[in-house]
Amino acid sequence: MSIEARIGIIGGNGWLGSAIAQAAVSSGSIDPTRLTLSGRSDRRVDIPGAKWTHDNKNLVERSDVVVLSVRPDQFPGVLIDARGKLVVSVMAGVSAQTIADGTNTHEIVRSIPNAAAAIRRSFTPWFATASVSAENKRVVHQLFEACGESAEVPIEFHVDYCAGMTGTGAAFPALLAEALVAHAVSQGLPPDFAKRAAKGLVAGASQLFASGDVDPADIVKEMIDYRGLTAAALQAMLDGGFNHVVASGLEAAAAKAATIIRN
Ligand SMILES: NC(=O)c1ccc[n+]([C@@H]2O[C@H](COP(=O)([O-])OP(=O)(O)OC[C@H]3O[C@@H](n4cnc5c(N)ncnc54)[C@H](OP(=O)(O)O)[C@@H]3O)[C@@H](O)[C@H]2O)c1
């Protein structure tokens, strides 16, 4: 079933805003005539049928759901009265209370999509305030399913935490791939080959994870129990503090988020 609500995306000309709009249209989740997109400049993506405007007041009038896809420091410049409407924010670090104060509505959803929205593979956690109706939650779910996978969380903090986890998109697998390339090259493998091999490994693993109900812990246990060369590698990485290094990365992201959160 496609989305019946009219959706307006403030910042619909930006990287994430346009990816969400394109995902919603290309998946058939919304008729483009129900979409209104805004930006300050004339930069825009071509979405036939969608309405473009520079006027956010006009966007709000034409929409039942308003998506805020501006950068956090641009939010104070978005002066809208969305009374009686649902506002869905993708901004990292801006609290539901601050969004409610700035938009005149209590129906707020906070979400953290990631860069894979561009290929409709974003895992998107979202939190809804108590005022958000079941019907509006369904709209949010449909919108983020169009971008990949939608996951409602019960506590606002989970969205802040996920900014440093799932919001990082390809960054952590890229770091792993880079480390694999560096070691392979240090052992004399040609750089181009090493890069192809590392990318192929990460891409293949991603497809395996996407293809079904795969539990990462089961894969690690199975390999360790097999006691082969993969087990030797995994054990050395674990003994070298792999889990600790990952935890300290996530803690650094949370600490950085705390410095930018606008309560
Ligand atoms: N990129 C990611 O992977 C990612 C992941 C998770 C969350 N987010 C969040 O997504 C939000 C957008 O990020 P982005 O990467 O898409 O940034 P972006 O490409 O800079 O997009 C922001 C857009 O907002 C527009 N804008 C600014 N003020 C406006 C206003 N008053 N009215 C209408 N449009 C306005 C800008 O258009 P003009 O240039 O025309 O002013 C710009 O195109 C951020 O809050 C970020 O925290 C991003």
Pairing of strands 51-53, 35-38: parallel
- Residue 166, ligand 1, Cβ within 6 A: no
- Torsion sign (Cα): 121, 127, 131, 133: positive
**Residue 54: count of CB within 10 angstroms of its CB:** 11
Write out the residue limits of the CATH 1.10.3730.10 domain(s) in the chain.
Answer: 168-260
**C-beta of 169 in contact with ligand 1 (< 6 A):** yes
Beta-strand relationship, 122-128 and 148-152: parallel
Number of Cβ within a 10 Å radius of residue 75: 19
pLDDT of residue 257: 81
Is the CB of residue 142 below 6 angstroms from any atom belonging to ligand 1?
no
Look at residue 188 and give its three-state secondary structure: coil
Cβ–ligand 1 distance for 70 under 6 Å, the answer: yes
Our mutation pick for probing the ligand 1 site, out of 40, 66, 126, counting the most ligand atoms within 8 A of Cβ, is 40
The string of pLDDT tens digits covering residues 108-165 is 999 999 999 999 999 999 999 999 999 999 999 999 999 999 999 999 999 999 999 9
Q: What pLDDT score does 254 carry? A: 87
CA-based Rg of the chain, rounded to a whole angstrom? 21
**What does the block give as tokens for 24?**
């919603």
pLDDT per residue over 189-220, tens digit each?
A: 999 999 999 999 999 999 999 888 899 999 99
- Distance, in Å, from the CA atom of 94 to the CA atom of 112, rounded to the nearest integer, reads 11
Ligand 1 atom 18, closest CA: 14
Atom of ligand 1 at shortest range from CA of 18: 16
For residue 133, give the nearest of 99, 105, 91 by alpha carbon. Answer: 105
Ligand 1 mean position to 263 CA, how many Å? 19
pTM for this entry: 0.94
Confidence class for position 250, pLDDT limits 50, 70, 90? very high
Q: Can you name the residues that pair with 10 across neighbouring β-strands?
A: 38, 68
* 7-163: CATH topology: Rossmann fold (3.40.50)
* Number of neighbours of residue 155 by Cβ within 10 angstroms: 9
Instruction: Output the average pLDDT for the chain.
Output: 96
pLDDT of residue 1: 76
For the domain bounded by 168-260, which CATH number is listed? Answer: 1.10.3730.10
